[in-house]
Amino acid sequence: MLFSKATGYGIRAMVYLAGQPGNQPCGLKEIAEQEKIPPVFLRKVLGELCHRRLLLSVKGIHGGYMLGRPPEAITVWDVIRSLEAGQDFDSCILGCGVCNPEHPCVLHSDWQRLREELMISWQVKTISELASLQSEVPPRPTSEQARRTTDGERQEVTSRP
């Protein structure tokens, strides 16, 4: 996994909010249930996104969280930068410290090219674009729908609630 759990959860929550009609506030419990994210952890992630002004927190009975600006104006990079504090993407993919062209690892040129492509993609891809793609992605199975067989392979259960 390239991102921390917090960043993955943050991107998923932002995409969920971008997919809601009218940018109305959504409660923490709703987001957590729909995205299958632990609510305690999600609260911390959303709090950080509010602190970075990517989200707004609305208090009250009909309160919740909503995007801090239009989803077309929030890039994936904005979310990554907010939640991956201190994370640099200059690390060697094989764990040899900082990626160094003077002392490259065997995957250096491939990783450098891929890293540059990822950074460009994250800087231009918006939360709005991800939300429009979300409808094309099949839903993730719940823990009850997926189980491990005795040999460790993942098996999908076809019954849906």
Q: Does the model's pTM come out above 0.85?
A: no
Give the DSSP per-residue string, 1-42.
--S-HHHHHHHHHHHHHHTSGGG--B-HHHHHHHHT--HHHH
E strand or H helix at 156, and its extent? strand 154-156
Q: Tens digits of per-residue pLDDT, 12-24? A: 999 999 999 887 8
Q: Tens digits of per-residue pLDDT, 25-66? A: 999 999 999 999 999 999 999 999 999 999 999 998 889 999
